[in-house]
């Protein structure tokens, strides 16, 4: 299936999401801050089908990450996650760059459905 870069600083959420996506047959690479996510996305040695990122993260937050990746890799689908309403508002205007925002807390079914939609899988 897809090769997904998961950027999430909460280790429990990261593990939960990784397991959910692996259940659907995806390969998941985990990073725990936006700086590392940006390095991995920009690496010529890696090719991702989706960037799934929390908005609130250390080093580079998810909105700044989405802006940079959207500029440099416009064909890479981006899906953001947040548990904070005010962070959701920060993503306002990014509709052309991102495939959606997943509101935390979410269920296995929620995150799997959002990822399928972002990847164009029915």
Percent of the chain at pLDDT above 70?
91
Give the pLDDT of residue 85: 57
Give the pLDDT of residue 12: 96
80-117: pLDDT as tens digits: 999 865 555 565 567 778 898 899 999 999 999 999 99
d(CA 62, CA 58): 9
> Over 70: is that where the pLDDT of 38 sits?
yes
Sheet holding 50-54, edge to edge: 27-31, 3-7, 50-54, 78-82, 100-103
d(CA 105, CA 101): 12
Name residue 100's beta-bridge partners: 79
7-26: pLDDT as tens digits: 999 999 999 999 999 999 99
Domains and CATH numbers, the chain: 3-119 (3.40.50.2300)
């Amino acid at each position: 299936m897809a090769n997904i870069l998961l950027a999430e600083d909460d280790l429990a959420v990261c593990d939960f999401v990784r397991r959910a996506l692996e259940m659907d047959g995806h390969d998941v690479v985990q990073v725990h801050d936006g700086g590392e996510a940006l390095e991995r996305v920009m690496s010529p040695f890696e090719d991702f089908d989706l960037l799934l990122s929390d908005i609130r993260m250390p080093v580079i937050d998810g909105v700044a990450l989405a802006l940079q990746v959207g500029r440099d890799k416009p064909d890479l689908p981006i899906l953001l996650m947040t548990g904070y309403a005010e962070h959701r508002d920060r993503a306002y205007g990014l509709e052309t760059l991102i495939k959606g925002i997943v509101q935390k807390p979410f269920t296995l079914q929620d995150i799997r459905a959002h990822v399928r939609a972002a990847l164009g899988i029915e």
